[in-house]
């Protein structure tokens, strides 16, 4: 099994729709992160979580919400999608000595029309 899985891998939706992106990990890491990547802008942090009771906003959290259902699961929701949320979304886990265990999911390509 892959270390970090994301579903769906691709999604096309319409403006105003609610959409959920799901992430699961098998690494046993407590820390999980959601990033979005836009051409020319690199990866930017949306939300992060240290455990099921600890959720924190990142650099660009407006328009997004998250849920940490279990240590292994971290979901990202767009309550009312808008076109500028079209991007590639990555889930990641970090752990290990010096944070040198880092695993990224395969990404979800989201298009909002």
Partner 1 sequence: QKEVEQNSGPLSVPEGAIASLNCTYSDRVSQSFFWYRQYSGKSPELIMSIYSNGDKEDGRFTAQLNKASQYVSLLIRDSQPSDSATYLCAVIGSGGGADGLTFGKGTHLIIQP
> Can you give the binding site for partner 1, defined by CB under 8 A?
31, 33, 35, 40-45, 48, 50, 56, 58, 88, 90, 94, 98-100, 102, 104-107, 109
Q: Helix, strand or coil for residue 51?
A: strand
- Residue 3 or 17: which CB sits closer to partner 1? 3
**Cβ 28 to partner 1, closest distance in Å?**
15
> 33: Cβ–Cβ under 8 A, 6 or more apart, which residues?
45, 47, 48, 49, 58, 91, 92, 93, 94
**Cβ 16 to partner 1, closest distance in Å?**
27
- Residue 20 or 45: which CB sits closer to partner 1? 45
Burial of 69 (0-12, 13-18, 19+ CB in 10 A): exposed
- Residue 17 or 103: which CB sits closer to partner 1? 103
**Cβ 36 to partner 1, closest distance in Å?**
11
CA count, 13 A, side-chain hemisphere, 86: 10
């Amino acid at each position: 099994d892959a270390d970090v899985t994301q579903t769906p891998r691709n999604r096309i939706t319409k403006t105003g729709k609610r959409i959920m992106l799901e992430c699961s990990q098998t690494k046993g890491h407590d820390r999980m992160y959601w990033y979005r990547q836009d051409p020319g802008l690199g990866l930017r942090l949306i939300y992060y979580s240290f455990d099921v009771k600890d959720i924190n906003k990142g650099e660009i959290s407006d328009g997004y919400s998250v849920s940490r259902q279990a240590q292994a699961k971290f979901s990202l929701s767009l309550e009312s999608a808008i076109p500028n949320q079209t991007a590639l979304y990555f889930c990641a886990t970090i752990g290990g000595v010096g944070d040198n265990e880092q695993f990224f999911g395969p990404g979800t390509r989201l298009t909002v029309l």
